[in-house]
Structure 1
Amino acid sequence: MESEMGDLESQVHGSSSDGGDDLSPSIFRSANRPVTLKFEDVMYKIKVKEGERWPCGKKPLAEERMILKGISGTVLPGEMLAMLGPSGSGKTTLLTALGGRLGRRLDGNITYNDKPFSNVMKRNTGFVTQDDVLYPHLTVTETLVYTALLRLPNTFTKQEKITHAETVIAQLGLTKCKSSIIGDELLRGISGGERKRVSIGQEMLINPSLLFLDEPTSGLDSTTAQRIVSTLWELTNGGRTIVMTIHQPSSRLFYMFHKVLLLSDGNPLYFGKGDQVMDYFSSVGYSPSVAMNPSDFLLDLANGVSDNKGQDPAQVKQALVTAYKSNIAGNLKVETQKLSRQFEENKLDNKQSSRWTTTWWQQFSVLLQRGLKERRHEAFSALRITQVLVVALICGLLWWKSKNFQDRIGLLFFYTGFWSFFPVFQAIFTFPQERSMLTKERSSGMYRLSAYFISRIVGDLPMELVLPTAFLTITYWMAGLKPSLVNFFETLFVLLYSVVAAQGLGLALGALVMDLKAATTLGSVLLLTFLLSGGYYVTQVPKFISWIKYISLTQYSFKLLVSSQYKADETYDCGANMNCIVGSHPMVKSVGMDNIAFAIVALGLMVVGYRLIAYAALTRIGVTKQ
């Protein structure tokens, strides 16, 4: 695997970065398939949870809250629509709905070339979220190359995909930072504007006909924002359809938008050409008293603020909603009907295609390589290694060349306890931390969930097994356990087997709960319960609660560890000139040394079963409802 990763890096750095390779046309070329976006009377409701309040502390009057209230519009190829409105006006919800990523409780009609959302449409749609969801330890080049390998179809060769990524890097002005890591809040990397361009570049790799962007200029200075919007404006020249939400653009940005949609509390107040918006509001009695940025004026109106005396905010909003229905809604309906008739006459083809552009094995291989690159810093961090080595040395010193049988049994039980807690709490963080990335990439149709899951499991195994191997190697010989290599490797096998099972439990808890605090608490309770019923602390467990041992990871691991060191009829020194049978020792007797095969099978079922639970839990997220 390392050689494959090295080959990939050499291919990346050896490919063209000047955008002139014929294999990878410019990102500003024409769209593969021009798309006309049409939405009619889009409404969206959510259930109001008990105790939830509306803005300003008002108590909800109904069980459902209307987020979008009958919004209509059209965006043609070569047009850029900007959706404006104050926070909570429904901009992001509408963008998500138009991008085919919002399912339940959505009413109305959204079509793409007069057809519903489909696999073909998903292949031609890019979606850039407000938060740049990127892996912090990957470089700009690695981020875009791995995306290209996953998203571009097999009509491209591997080298063509890499070259394509390099071209996008050059044309988005990312060449200077191509070898820099992305970074995050705790890790210094590229700038915010560069991160945003990387996010846009990930979507431009597929040459989308329809591009959605949620607040692409959020948190950026005016110059950087201007550069990004200018890039998007150039993309429309290739026949692309672009829709974005934007909070408060400058005057320079505002007049680059072909169309503007103004929202207030889920109601449309304006839909039309950007250069006609000021004339429209003047015609309905609302005009600024002084020259000002159009977006500032529109946001004031959306908040119910106007220069008209005697009108409170609620009156202003209601008047604008009424004006919209009287002056714009009818014209929009006529326009959408006209477009529908045109599509019926042209009968544009909407043939279905395969849901996936790459094979399962390709997805697994790329995800495995990417995962190993990203997580090696975390898996082999100095803190984590130091933690394990320090505990191993302390254990080795405490049990130094121990001759006492009970002490040795205690060490075996400590192995069981420590290497249950450690892998469980490492694995719990796996899926909650990657939820945003999984949702983003799965919604884009980048890969199968099974390919992601298996690559994650396989990639984590070497990292998760190195530390327990080092731990046992140190403590085993320091504590003076049986020096036979057979006994050592049996003990190592059992320990690693139990680590894999414990890791599965952590994965299942994290995927089921998806809340780190709650998952950690639940994991602690479960492991402590297993630990107490494991046969070491309580040798006579009451019958009404003894059933716990049959689902206890600790109990089976302890049984197998004892069996790796001792035989049931073996004797040990239990006093002055006295020898006792191992199988009769209370702690050994409580777990038993029979049914070893059953214990092995039980742990095997946990290894598989916990992972199946985790996989089933993951199917709830990251899938677009079509």
Structure 2
Amino acid sequence: MAEKDIETVPDDLFTNDTIQSFSWLDVKVTVKDRQTKEPLAILDSCSGYAQAGQLVALMGPSGGGKTTLLNVLANRSQAAWTGYTKVNSSPIGKKELREISGYVEQDDALTGSLTVRETIDFAAQLALHGLSKKARQGITDSLIAAFGLRQQENTVIGTPIRKGISGGQKRRVSVASQLVASPKVLFLDEPTSGLDSAASYEVMKLISDMAKKHRLIIIASIHQPSTTTFELFDSLLLLSKGRTCYFGPVETVNTYFDQIAPIPLHTNPAEFLLDLVNTDFDTSERPQTKVDLATVQNAWSNSEAHRLLQSVLTRSESDPKPTLSTSATHPTRPLRLDLPLILLHRNFIKSHRDLLTYGTRVAMYTGLAILMGTVWLRLPYTQSSIQPFINALFFGGAFMSFMAVAYVPSIIEDLQTLKKEHANGLYGPLSFMIANFLIGLPWLLLITLIFTVITYWLGNFRVAADGFWLWVLWLFLDLLAAESLVVLISAIVPIFVVALAAIAFANGLWMSVGGFLVSMGTLNVFWKYVFHYIDYQAYVFQAMMVNQFKDTTYDCERMNGGDEFYCMYPSDLQSEGKIRGTAVLEAYHYPYDDRKTWEWFGIMLGIIVGYRVLGYLALWARTRGA
């Protein structure tokens, strides 16, 4: 990336006059081994530091402790750890560190249907408050130019059904989205993961230039960089099996290892070092493996470089502590009331661009409506149609609910974004849940109207305006409850296959205990009292039954072509050869007074709110330690 591009970023965006150093001392992470039940050291007495303007590499074989250390340094570790992390030689708390730092995860948790510009701009809206729209757009423009994304600024990130930007460009967008909040310390987890050598160099060169230009502290875990990419780093921390094998300037790596395992000329130092400390594979034919890992680790522990490091970190304990004022280095976060509106705007863009969010569901429900309308086509009002009418009501409500599983991929993507953005202190589960609920209302209402318009008249259901709109009401509540259940289960288990299976099972349960497949008189008491009364599908079915049968009559069949009638459901109209619809409701033990219907309406609202509250609590529990 050309230096002139980096010049386009406003100097005051990354002004870093107070954060001079970031250090860690004797960091240890110990867990219980699952097999032996004995303590297992994931990290053991790891120390190091980074100064303003430096790019530090955490390198080592898989399982060596890189990501664990990075999470500890960023104060995001889920495991208990001991040691110290300091800014300007002063211990710093989790909240204060979050105010001055950013974290870019290995996986790009980006909203695929947003453009590059929209992604960075929404990050600015969430992270910066009090800036004018013009100022915010100026920052967005500067970062787009600095990261070489000008030609892609109006290109979407990419979805499973819509091609977007490349992997290297996604990485740049991820970093730019973090830099918009002007962090002084930036943690990168495998920033070159999945990129080829050229793209890796391009990304890391830009990050290195940004660090030096604006005196940022950037610490990145990296697996196996090329020689040119490796040389971009200022310092290297080499880990294996949780212990330090080297810490110091990249330029002195060759000199240091000349006494342990000399790095041959024309050899990639990063590749050589990884082979040297990797114990997972048999590499006996490689010359560097003649030196075992314990030798390398002990050499570091006894080295002059290690003693000097410990001396520097220990001496800093007695040095005057520069004052750290996070309020002076970090913009104020948006007010809580602003956050749901920002998220709602972003969700709106996603909802009408991403076919997987609601477009596919609209198509599915339209197809289901045509299927249902043509199968139950213009049913006559005779007693032979009573059971088909009942079946149609059950089918419509149950399968409308069941097909809400199509929302799982979209909500899981949103939950991944929530996890990343909440960890960076941008917003919490409450703002997420409010925006998620509000964006679904118009789309679910549209789906309900399309479904009802097609099926209601094709099926020849009760011909009355109030009957039509009651259909809309109850199917709309059905979809609201179903989507709320999807959000709840996905919040508990945000794994696609598991969430899909759990939601399908829940819908099967609701169908079974709703009172149609097994009547209430037959359903055993356990399923009746534990699950039936919290089954939202049951209330939808009952209300739609009342809507269809309360004010309709059906012709009975004449017996042997004579004047007498055979009526399946006895009623006061039997002598006239008709069945009053209320007789059907009485056979199912469904009350049909308006007061009871409104009671069901209240229960439905309670179930919907209950699912949402439980979903919020599940998200709160999952994110409270982040």
Which band: TM-score by shorter chain?
Answer: 0.7 to 0.9
SS in 1 for 2:316: helix
SS at match of 1:179: coil
Distance in 1 of aligned mates of 2:464 and 2:188: 63
Change in Cα spacing, 1:229 to 1:591, as seen in structure 2 (3 Å) is same
Alignment-derived partner of residue 566 in structure 2: none
Match of 2:572 in 1: none
Q: Structure 1 residues 184 and 516, CA, compared in 2 at 3 Å: closer, same or farther?
A: closer
For 2:581 and 2:522, how far apart are their aligned partners in 1?
20
Q: Does 1:234 align with 2:214?
A: no
Partner Cα distance (1:146, 1:351) in 2: 22
Per-residue deviation, 1:522 = 2.7
Answer yes or no: is 1:371 the counterpart of 2:356. Answer: no
Please report how far the alpha carbon of residue 257 of structure 1 lies from its aligned counterpart in structure 2 after TM superposition. Answer: 1.9
Shift in Å, 1:289: 4.7
Match of 2:28 among 43, 49, 52: 43
Residue of structure 2 in register with 1:551 after alignment: 534
Instruction: Tell me which residue corresponds to 1:421.
Output: 402
What secondary structure is seen at the aligned counterpart in 1 of 2:378?
Answer: coil
- For 2:365, give the aligned amino acid: V
Call closer, same or farther: CA 1:276–1:311 in 2, change over 3 Å: closer
Aligned match for 1:529, one of 489, 495, 509:
509
Separation in 1, partners of 2:350, 2:480? 21
1:617 aligns with 2:618: yes
Which residue of 2 is the match for residue 55 of structure 1?
Answer: none
CA distance in 1, matches of 2:350, 2:359: 16
Q: Paired residue for 1:575?
A: 557
| Among candidates 173, 182, 200, match of residue 225 of structure 1 | 200
Report if aligned partners of 1:559, 1:593 keep a CA contact under 8 Å in 2. no
Aligned to 1:10: none
Residue from 388, 391, 394 that aligns with 1:410: 391
Q: 1:245 to 1:542 in 2, by over 3 A?
A: closer
CA 1:110–1:135 in 2, change beyond 3 Å: closer, same or farther?
Answer: same
Identify the residue that residue 7 of structure 1 maps to in structure 2. Answer: none
Structure 1 match to 2:148: 173
The residue that corresponds to 2:569 in the other structure is none
How far apart, CA to CA, are the structure 1 residues paired with 2:359 and 2:458? 23
Q: Aligned equivalents of 2:301 and 2:23: distance in 1?
A: 18
Residue aligned with 1:591, SS: coil
Counterpart CA distance in 2 for 1:526 and 1:553 is 11
Q: Distance in 2 between matches of 1:116 and 1:203?
A: 20
Percentage identity across paired residues of the two chains? 26
Flag structure 1 segments of 5+ consecutive residues without an equivalent.
1-16, 50-59
Alignment equivalent of 2:496, drawn from 510, 516, 523: 516
Q: Distance in 2 between matches of 1:32 and 1:467?
A: 55
Indicate the residue corresponding to 1:299 in structure 2: 274
Asked if 1 retains the 8 angstrom alpha-carbon contact of 2:50 and 2:217, the reply is: yes
* Correspondence for 1:75: 50
Q: Give the aligned partner of residue 476 of structure 2.
A: 496
Q: Given the superposition, is the C-alpha separation of residues 585 and 157 from structure 1 closer, same or farther in structure 2, using an over 3 Å criterion?
A: same
Distance 1:383 1:306 in 2: 50
557, 565, 588: which one pairs with 2:548?
565
The alpha-carbon deviation at position 491 of structure 1 amounts to 1.9
Q: CA deviation at 1:566?
A: 3.4
Within the candidate set 345, 368, 371, 1:391 is matched to 368
Is the alpha carbon distance of 1:558 and 1:78 closer, same or farther for their aligned partners in structure 2, counting shifts above 3 Å?
same
Length-normalised TM-score, structure 2: 0.87
Cα deviation for residue 318 of structure 1 reads 0.7
Structure 1 stretch displaced more, 539-548 or 498-507: 539-548
Aligned-partner residue type, residue 400 of structure 1 = L
8 Å CA contact retained: 2:50, 2:56:
yes
Using structure 1 for the length normalisation, give the TM-score: 0.87
CA distance in 2, matches of 1:235, 1:163: 18
Q: 2:504, 2:204 → 1: CA distance?
A: 49
Query: 2:615 is aligned with what amino acid?
Result: A
Task: Give the residue type in structure 2 aligned to 1:541.
Answer: T
Partner secondary structure for residue 107 of structure 1: strand
Q: Distance in 1 between matches of 2:538 and 2:329?
A: 51
1:135 aligns with 2:136: no
**Structure 2 residues not aligned, in runs of 5+:** 559-575
SS of corresponding position for 2:258: helix
Partner SS state of residue 340, structure 1: coil
Distance, in Å, in 2 between the alignment partners of 1:260 and 1:82 is 5
Residue correspondences, number? 592
Residue 274 (structure 1) shift: 1.2
Counterpart in the other structure of 1:210: 185
Counterpart for residue 306 of structure 2: 329
Alignment root-mean-square deviation, CA = 3.0
